């Protein structure tokens, strides 16, 4: 067990270096904690020990946190033991008479951060990999190895709540600004900082009396609670629990506070919310690793990319690639379009600078990776082409025929279409790339949406799928492999839901009722607002394509047609269902109200929960059809794609997990009742009917 870390002792300094064998990460499991405890005990017995320093031997991880397996699989008794064990070890570290320093380099999260908080001093490297934080609430629990208690004492209650409730992860310099660490330097110079701090002895910390007194804590708690409630709408019990535990931590004893930490986690760990959030975490990890082909296939490297079309999507994709150091040719038919695309690229880079993703110098250098072209240029060096031209099959056909003649035979041709059939392009004999033409569907806005759908056809070669997977991961995006049916997976499931929301609005329902219902349900945005954001014209186009393929459950509510005909496209034109200029989207647009089929709402409108259920059930219904048709390859894929592609309430675990929690028979019953009343869009799929129960 001693190989979990190495330790040295010289000149009164004890150094513990975390180095978990056969792993890139250091984590805390019971065995590691036990070994650490023994070592700390031995330091206690060493009278000559003047200082204890923690560091890591890994490239990008200090300690990533507690072993999630224990959290998920341990019995309540074992979990309690694990909590007590961690608290005890860190208490022992905090109680050492020698001076303790954590030299943080790489991810220092959860339990890793709590260890650092138990030290006298903390220093952090300025490396990109250094992230310090307590993200437990994002997994449905809270920091319970003293983190919820020590952090507010160290940096003050408001900052601690901000970090813990938001699950924020800080770079070294940000942590320094908050007082979470005492110094920042290059990794190689952390030792120098340690020497300087050790010379100062034990630290004297500010008391934060202004914020950390019981009265202030009460006020702060109310304000922070209000903010958190606005975001979580009471759907995340961990947020409420953390708010309570952290606010109470500033008064009374540390031991009592840590008892409250444990009590909270005992309840949270078994909550359905925590189960689903942990599952979402695993689904995300799976997307970072999984292979589509059963046989191992080596992906090709994609080092040069061309993007055809410099519109919103094309320039968004080009900017994202450029920011990941991939040279990208941005091609459009005339310099004005290319120029407009470059302007968007530049805007996206300035946004990234504003959000401190890049420095000015980095952004300037990276933006040079976009190579503009308004003329036909050689493409022999291009490994992947992403077409992001207008959504017109004939135009795309023309583009790909031309590309096929000018690229290498092994170049992958991809379309970023959001609804058109990829197979029709793949099977085009004049393009002649059936095994290498796929869909690569980025979502708008590219810089913010993590999911990328990889659309395969029956002809797609396994090597192309693996190359696409590796490429999407290299971009820092999350891939999901989906089948080629109109709308693919995410838009397919989303569309009936958006259409129904539009239909209800058209029938005189209050727009706020519809959107609020879904916000309460846990969606990041109401469906009507989402329509405005996507653009009513775009939604209409996608819905048309899908209506052609799947029939009238994709019939467009007339209100959308009327708004588009009158030039109200949503946020981009300043008005759609909502008014986006004066009221910034807060009020419903008069132009939408007067164009509804029914101006007044029917009597006896249902409760918000019933509205949400009705809308969410449509997503479930469509999701199961995707499973039937092989558009989605697994239930996990559906949930994963909906959460990362649309922000579907993560604590519910996605549409399938939500339906399962209701129970398939209940889902079927409710859908049948709705179908009888509202029409066949609600008729349960064969898949739902065939579920046992």
Identify the residue whose tokens are 């969410």: 616
Smallest distance from another protein to CB 399, Å: 18
**What is the three-class DSSP state of 387?**
strand
CA distance 207 to 218: 17
In 388-485, DSSP assigns E strands to 412-415, 437-442, 451-456, 478-483
What is the CB neighbour count within 10 angstroms for residue 662?
16
Smallest distance from another protein to CB 364, Å: 8
Contacts of 294 by beta carbon, 8 Å cutoff, 6+ apart: none
Which is nearer to another protein, 78 or 334 (by Cβ)? 334
Smallest distance from another protein to CB 570, Å: 25
Which is nearer to another protein, 218 or 336 (by Cβ)? 336
CB distance 583 to 589 below 8 Å: no
Smallest distance from another protein to CB 496, Å: 40
Q: Are strands 578-579 and 478-483 parallel, antiparallel or unpaired?
A: unpaired
CA–CA distances in Å: residue 439 to residues 109, 559, 572 = 36, 31, 26
H-run or E-run covering 547? helix 536-550
Q: Are strands 13-18 and 5-10 parallel, antiparallel or unpaired?
A: antiparallel
CB distance 132 to 172 below 8 Å: yes
Smallest distance from another protein to CB 281, Å: 38
Which is nearer to another protein, 340 or 661 (by Cβ)? 340
Q: Which alpha helices (DSSP H) does 249-329 contain, by range?
A: 254-269, 272-289, 312-323
CB distance 67 to 29 below 8 Å: yes
Smallest distance from another protein to CB 357, Å: 19
Which is nearer to another protein, 371 or 549 (by Cβ)? 371
Contacts with another protein, residue ranges (CB under 8 A): 327, 329, 335-336, 338-340, 342-343, 345-346, 365, 368-369, 371-375, 377-381
Identify the residue whose tokens are 């070890």: 89
Smallest distance from another protein to CB 445, Å: 18
* DSSP label at residue 322: H
441 catalytically annotated: yes
Smallest distance from another protein to CB 336, Å: 6
Smallest distance from another protein to CB 303, Å: 10
Which is nearer to another protein, 42 or 359 (by Cβ)? 359
Beta-bridge partners for 125:
185
Which is nearer to another protein, 68 or 340 (by Cβ)? 340
Which is nearer to another protein, 186 or 377 (by Cβ)? 377
CB distance 635 to 493 below 8 Å: no
Which is nearer to another protein, 40 or 306 (by Cβ)? 306
CA distance 267 to 244: 14
Smallest distance from another protein to CB 343, Å: 4
Torsion of CA 111, 112, 116, 122, to 10 degrees: -150
CA distance 231 to 234: 8
Which is nearer to another protein, 24 or 336 (by Cβ)? 336
Contacts of 69 by beta carbon, 8 Å cutoff, 6+ apart: 29
Strand ranges across the sheet with 412-415: 370-373, 328-331, 305-308, 384-387, 412-415, 437-442, 451-456, 478-483
CA distance 110 to 147: 8
CB distance 469 to 289 below 8 Å: no
How big is the CA angle at 198 (ends 194 and 203), to the nearest 5 degrees? Answer: 110
Catalytically annotated residue among 282, 291, 364, 441: 441
Which is nearer to another protein, 363 or 478 (by Cβ)? 363
Distance of CA 236 to the CA centre of its chain: 16
Question: Would you name the residues annotated as active-site residues?
Answer: 441
């Amino acid at each position: 067990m001693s190989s979990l870390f190495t330790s040295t002792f010289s000149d009164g300094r004890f150094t513990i270096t975390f180095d978990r064998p056969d792993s890139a990460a250091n984590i805390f499991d019971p065995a590691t904690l036990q070994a650490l405890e023994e070592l700390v005990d031995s330091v206690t017995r060493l009278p000559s020990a003047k200082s204890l320093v923690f560091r890591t031997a890994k490239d990008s991880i200090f300690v990533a946190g507690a072993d999630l397996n224990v959290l998920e699989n341990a019995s309540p008794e074992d979990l309690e033991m694990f909590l007590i064990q961690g608290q005890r070890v860190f208490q022992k570290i905090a109680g050492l008479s020698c001076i303790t320093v954590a030299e943080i380099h790489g991810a220092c999260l959860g339990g890793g951060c709590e260890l650092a908080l138990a030290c006298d001093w903390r220093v952090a490297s300025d490396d990109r990999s250094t992230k310090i934080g307590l993200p437990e609430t994002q997994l449905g629990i809270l920091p319970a190895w003293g983190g919820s208690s020590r952090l507010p004492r160290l940096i003050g209650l408001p900052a601690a709540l901000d970090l813990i409730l938001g699950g924020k992860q800080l770079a070294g310099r940000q942590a320094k600004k908050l007082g979470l660490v005492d110094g920042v330097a290059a990794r190689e110079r952390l030792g120098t900082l340690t020497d300087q701090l050790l010379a100062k002895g034990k630290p004297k910390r500010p008391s934060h009396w202004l914020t950390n007194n019981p009265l202030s804590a009460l006020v702060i708690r109310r304000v922070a609670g209000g903010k958190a409630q606005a975001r979580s709408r009471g759907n995340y019990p961990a947020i409420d629990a953390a708010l309570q535990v952290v606010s109470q931590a500033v008064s009374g004893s540390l031991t009592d506070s840590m008892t409250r930490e444990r009590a909270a986690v005992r309840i949270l760990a078994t909550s359905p919310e925590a189960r689903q959030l942990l599952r979402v975490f695993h689904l995300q990890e799976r997307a970072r690793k999984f292979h589509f082909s059963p046989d191992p296939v080596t992906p090709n490297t994609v080092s040069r990319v061309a993007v055809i079309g410099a519109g919103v999507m094309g320039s968004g994709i080009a900017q994202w690639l450029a920011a990941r150091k991939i040279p990208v040719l941005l091609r459009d038919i005339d310099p004005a379009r290319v120029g407009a695309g470059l302007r968007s690229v530049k805007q996206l880079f300035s946004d990234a600078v504003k959000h401190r993703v890049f420095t000015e110098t980095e952004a300037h250098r990276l933006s040079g990776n976009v190579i503009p072209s308004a003329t036909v240029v050689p493409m022999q060096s291009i490994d992947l082409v992403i077409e992001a031209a207008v959504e017109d099959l004939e135009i795309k056909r023309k583009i790909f025929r031309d590309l096929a003649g000018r690229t290498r035979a092994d170049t992958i041709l991809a379309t970023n279409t959001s609804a058109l059939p990829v197979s029709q392009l793949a099977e085009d004999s004049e393009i002649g790339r059936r095994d290498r033409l796929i869909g690569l569907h980025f979502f708008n806005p590219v810089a913010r949406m993590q999911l990328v759908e990889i659309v395969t056809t029956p002809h797609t070669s396994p090597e192309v799928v693996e190359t696409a997977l590796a490429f999407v991961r290299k971009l820092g995006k999350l891939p999901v492999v989906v089948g080629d049916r109109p709308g693919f997976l995410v838009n397919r499931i989303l569309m009936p839901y958006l259409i129904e929301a539009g239909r209800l609005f058209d029938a005189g329902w209050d727009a706020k009722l519809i959107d609020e219902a879904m916000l309460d349900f846990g969606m990041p945005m109401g469906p009507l607002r989402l329509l405005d954001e996507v653009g009513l014209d775009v939604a209409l186009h996608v819905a048309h394509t899908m209506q052609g393929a799947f029939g009238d459950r994709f019939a467009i509510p007339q209100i959308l047609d009327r708004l588009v005909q009158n030039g109200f496209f949503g946020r981009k034109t300043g008005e759609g269902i909502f008014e986006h200029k004066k009221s910034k989207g807060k009020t419903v647009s008069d132009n939408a109200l007067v164009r509804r089929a029914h101006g007044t709402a029917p009597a006896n409108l249902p409760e918000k929960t019933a509205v949400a259920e009705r809308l969410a059930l449509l997503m479930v219904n469509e999701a199961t059809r995707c499973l039937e048709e092989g558009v989605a390859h697994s239930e996990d894929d559906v949930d994963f794609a909906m959460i990362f592609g649309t922000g579907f309430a993560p604590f519910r675990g996605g549409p399938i997990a939500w339906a399962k929690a209701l129970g398939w028979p209940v889902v079927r019953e409710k859908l049948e009742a709705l179908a009888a009343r509202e029409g066949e869009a609600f008729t349960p799929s064969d898949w739902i009917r065939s579920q046992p129960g």
